[in-house]
Amino acid sequence: MTELFDVVDVIRTKRDGHVLSLDEINWVIDAYTRGVVGEEQMAALAMAIFLRGMNPDEISQWTQAMIDSGETMDFSALPRPTADKHSTGGVGDKITLPLAPLVAAFDVAVPQLSGRGLGHTGGTLDKLESIPGWQASISNEHIMHMLGEGAGAVICAAGAGLAPADKKLYALRDITSTVDCVPLIASSIMSKKIAEGTGSLVLDVKVGSGAFMKDLGKARELAQTMVNIGASHKLHTVALLTDMSTPLGNMVGNALEVRESVEVLAGGGPADVVELTLALAQEMLAAAGKPDEDIEAALQDGRAMDRWNQMIREQGGDPTAPLPVAAHTHQVVAEADGYLTELDALSVGVASWRLGAGRAAAGEAVQAEAGIELHAKIGDPVRKGQPLMTLHTQTPERFERALESLVGGYTIGESAPTPRESVVFERLATDF
């Protein structure tokens, strides 16, 4: 077939700072998906976008072209509204696990298509796979059953047919230093979420050392861009900017984070995890037309836990089975009396990764048992010799490198730091 455009001309247009037309964007994404545009050519275009940026119309059309590269899901036949949440990733970020069944307890369907971890950020599917028997990959028919007649929530892997252009482009960006580009990040996330077919979307955009976006300004730009994409595609979208300068909760790792999530569903758990879970649940329920529910009560009276147990069973898991426990542990203790004034999320995340909780390359196996248990949070008083954290792994030779990443990652001071007011910094939303 005769191609509509020459990819060299498209690259040159963006390289020279001009706007790509709707037709050029549609063609280049389709041609790249078909293999007509080569990897080296798309790499050049991605770098041109990285350097020159995109205007809102370009970003919206780029997103639509990636949606159009594959199949879409349709939840309009469900007897209840749908709401989804996406996190940009962090350390100890287990929020999806208690959040999905909590929102489902109020008769809102939660189609949570999730991913795996890479590097220091954990993956939701990796965490859940520490539950004996649980399956990440299920059919679209099974998803519809769980949302309609089953638990009302599903956390599973996205099918290969959703936005295949994004999957291909993401892998290319990862090896061409074009990941850190707001138009490409925003369109990547939103193309999958819009193709998924949810009725509303709440974004948890992390800010801080353990997040992809290290500063508030850049995170705000990303959040606003995604909210704008949602508005242009008639998807009700809200974004919360949340703190990822220090780990969420007391557990970092796979089985460890599942254990802590169950504590939250049982009415307990760390204050910061509970706070963020409730904040995101409130946004999801409001977007689904249920703004006045007593959300916290569902954690206390067992309704959310019932949904969790049902959700896990419907994906082959046994919620009553013991979670795997590491064969080897190592304690890090306080060197002096004082207060824990700093606990860096990136340092803890890298240490957990090096213990085996994460992967360095896509496809690598992870240890369900590996991770870090925190015994003190910022502001807590500590005594010399008191355990600050326990490292968990199946392979004790990993301790040395994990400990190296913790050097300078925490500070003990003489006076307590000013407590943070909230884990949530800002809220962004656009009505349409």
Q: Catalytic positions, please?
A: 86, 166, 173, 188, 192
Q: How far apart are the first and last CA of the chain?
A: 40
Residues 6+ apart with CB under 8 A from 124: 96, 97, 112, 114, 115, 155
- Over the Cα atoms of the chain, what is R_g? 22
Q: How far is CA 388 from the centre of its chain?
A: 27
Task: Please give the Cα distance from 428 to 201 (Å, whole number).
Answer: 12
Q: How far is CA 422 from CA 195, 202, 223, 248, 416, in A?
A: 33, 18, 18, 12, 17
Task: Please give the Cα distance from 331 to 319 (Å, whole number).
Answer: 29
Q: How far is CA 369 from CA 318, 320, 405, in A?
A: 17, 17, 19
Task: Please give the Cα distance from 17 to 322 (Å, whole number).
Answer: 57
Residues 6+ apart with CB under 8 A from 168: 32, 33
